[in-house]
Amino acid sequence: MSLAADNLEDLRRKLNAALADFKAGRIGEAAQSYRAIVEDIPDQPDALHMLGVIAYRMGRTELALQLYDETLRAVPTFALAWSNRALILRLLDRRQEALQSGRQAIACDPKLADGWDITGVLLRERRQYAVACQHHARAIALNPHNHHIQNNYAVALAALGRFAEAYRAASKAVLIDPSYAVGHLTVANILNEAGYPARAVPHYQKAATLDPNLPEAVSSEGRSLMLIGNMEMGWEKMETRSYDKKRFAALPRWNGEKVKHLLLYAEQGAGDVIQFLRYIPLIRERAETISLEVPVSLQRLVAAHMPGSIVITPNDPLPAADAHGLLMSLPYMCRTKLDTIPAALPYLHVKESQRVPWRERLAALPRPRIGVVWMGNPLYGKDHNRSLNLDQIKPLLEMARPHFISLQKGSTTATASNVAIFDADSWLTDFSATAALITELDLVITVDTGVAHIAGALGKPVWILLPFMPDWRWMLGREDSPWYPTARLFRQRAPQDWVAVIERARGELRKFLAGDRTVLAPLLWDGKILQQNPDAIPLPEEAAV
């Protein structure tokens, strides 16, 4: 593409005018001007690129990608087009291609902050947190006053556990732009993860006020409220959470009224399903028939708990119900407070016929028999906080090898042979089989997974190894749980410090093996509700917002 000097000056004038319209918010006029330029010069890269930016602004991601590709065909070294292409590919969930585009942006222009930033985001999503932080730091060095870049750096630092630095970066983002809702959400998340849920609440509220289309801010506020004991308000806030509404589009949302046929949807994880099954008897009178959709792995176990009801999976067609509700909304419907949580008497039961095979398989193992789970579902976003690797759990297993039974599912289970413990994986076809095995055990030691809930719902002693900032249901400070009286909580005193947790569990297990059954029971709660983690991480006062 070559233009005479006068034509080049005319092109620059048109591009500048179109850009001025764009910056002034006159998007339609800008788009019209850019399209006119492309009609005259089909491969004009600046116009093509800006049409891509406008298409993205309008939510037309496929068109934006097409326009960025046309831009790069015209000028393969157009760094900002590579960077924006990476952003679009990420939205389209083509993340490997997005990462390649981000890296290409950096290669074309190492001084382009946006290229370093989007590449850092993509690396963080691959859980390469340290490298992501390096990329964001480079982006900030190039553009220190961009609130988006500061925020992305804060998120990466928090994922790496560098909370003081993360808080400083997130605070700077909202100081640069006080109206930046996502920035306030990040500040709140960091405060919560550092051990200050009560301080996080106002920032969640600020984020929701600034952007009413940010439901995550409201539901996250709900989780922080419940963490500090404000269950009733917490449940209400959590009603804003998202779920698969398309599947239930033909059914009205249930609001607690009486209906003939109610379909409940278990939209959360396996542990949540087990935890909230206790509410179904409390709403029986509100529906003549109750159906429940659960994951395939839970169908048999839940069906045994709900005789006379219909238990389906996402693979099944929906029954002809009158309304749909969310299983996790039942506490809200029942106006649950901390002191009105339904009694956690054993509410799961296993048939004798399911228990007999386990007695035969475990016959050669000495008493007490102890089930163990050290890893959760790796697809869970915060799994790196709650799961251990085999080397971390090994000191606990080695002190009582003959007594341990691995309840761990998945390919990692095979490594349990390194410590020569009984591996039940091949028989654990679903959670019903897991429940049957747990009934034959004397104790379960597990990280925060569905197995913890099954053991608790069966009334079995269970020691739950918790991260520094636990899920809302475990609250703060206390060793017992209002949800499961047989649970004893072993908490981290510092992020990722599993060594102290395992050492404490080893000491208590040694007593149990010596015949002391008192160690199975938790120290009962003193009634004091904590507003922050007793070991909360110090944050810089100068960064306070």
pLDDT digit string (tens) for 207-256? 999 999 999 999 999 999 999 999 999 999 999 998 888 889 899 999 99
* Contact in structure between 457 and 438 (CB atoms under 8 Å): no
Percent of the chain with pLDDT over 70: 97
* Domain match, 296 and 414 both: no
Mean pLDDT (whole number) for 11-26: 91
Nearest to 354 by CA among 291, 250, 438, 293: 438
Look at residue 309 and tell me if it is in a domain: yes
Query: Kind of pairing, strands 323-326 and 310-312?
Result: unpaired
CATH of the domain at 69: 1.25.40.10
Residue carrying structure tokens 């593409």: 1
Q: Is the pTM of this model over 0.75?
A: yes
* Domain match, 18 and 153 both: yes
Q: Token pair for residue 43?
A: 């491969």
* Domain match, 368 and 477 both: yes
pLDDT band at 328 (very low <50, low <70, confident <90, very high): very high
Residues 6+ apart with CB under 8 A from 266: 272, 273, 292, 293, 294, 295, 298, 327, 328
CATH of the domain at 304: 3.40.50
Look at residue 295 and tell me if it is in a domain: yes
* Domain match, 324 and 391 both: no
Instruction: Please tell me the distance from the alpha carbon of residue 453 to that of residue 444, in angstroms, as a whole number.
Output: 11
More confident site: 451 or 411: 451
* Contact in structure between 72 and 82 (CB atoms under 8 Å): yes
Instruction: Please tell me the distance from the alpha carbon of residue 137 to that of residue 128, in angstroms, as a whole number.
Output: 14
What Cα–Cα distance (Å) separates residue 208 from each residue in 205, 437, 544?
Answer: 5, 45, 19
pLDDT tens sequence across 122-164:
999 999 999 999 999 999 999 999 999 999 999 999 999 999 9
Average pLDDT, the chain: 94
With the C-alpha atoms ordered 228, 233, 235, 237, is the resulting torsion angle positive or negative? negative
Of 160, 192, 210, at which residue does a domain stop? 210
Instruction: Please tell me the distance from the alpha carbon of residue 358 to that of residue 363, in angstroms, as a whole number.
Output: 8
Look at residue 488 and tell me if it is in a domain: yes
* Contact in structure between 407 and 372 (CB atoms under 8 Å): yes
* Domain match, 295 and 359 both: no
Q: In this model, does residue 359 exceed pLDDT 50?
A: yes
Q: So what's the pLDDT on residue 381?
A: 77
Look at residue 402 and tell me if it is in a domain: yes
Percent of the chain with pLDDT over 90: 89
* Contact in structure between 45 and 56 (CB atoms under 8 Å): no
Q: So what's the pLDDT on residue 6?
A: 65
Look at residue 246 and tell me if it is in a domain: no
* Contact in structure between 30 and 54 (CB atoms under 8 Å): yes
* Domain match, 306 and 421 both: no
Residues 6+ apart with CB under 8 A from 69: 85
Query: How many C-beta atoms lie closer than 10 Å to residue 74's C-beta?
Result: 19
pLDDT tens sequence across 470-484:
999 999 999 999 999
When divided into structural domains, the chain yields a total of: 3
pLDDT tens sequence across 360-410:
999 999 999 999 999 998 878 788 889 999 999 999 999 999 999 999 987
Residue carrying structure tokens 């109610």: 262
Range of the domain at 67: 5-210
pLDDT band at 414 (very low <50, low <70, confident <90, very high): very low
CATH of the domain at 488: 3.40.50.2000
Look at residue 108 and tell me if it is in a domain: yes
Mean pLDDT (whole number) for 281-294: 95
Instruction: Please tell me the distance from the alpha carbon of residue 383 to that of residue 238, in angstroms, as a whole number.
Output: 21
Look at residue 345 and tell me if it is in a domain: no
Q: In this model, does residue 259 exceed pLDDT 50?
A: yes
Q: In this model, does residue 418 exceed pLDDT 80?
A: no
* Contact in structure between 434 and 305 (CB atoms under 8 Å): no
Q: In this model, does residue 415 exceed pLDDT 70?
A: no
Of 176, 210, 244, at which residue does a domain stop? 210
Instruction: Please tell me the distance from the alpha carbon of residue 341 to that of residue 386, in angstroms, as a whole number.
Output: 25
Look at residue 238 and tell me if it is in a domain: no
pLDDT tens sequence across 519-537:
999 999 999 999 999 999 9
Of 340, 367, 395, at which residue does a domain stop? 340
Instruction: Please tell me the distance from the alpha carbon of residue 275 to that of residue 279, in angstroms, as a whole number.
Output: 9
Q: So what's the pLDDT on residue 308?
A: 84
* Domain match, 327 and 462 both: no
pLDDT band at 180 (very low <50, low <70, confident <90, very high): very high
Query: How many C-beta atoms lie closer than 10 Å to residue 527's C-beta?
Result: 6
Nearest to 374 by CA among 441, 448, 450: 448
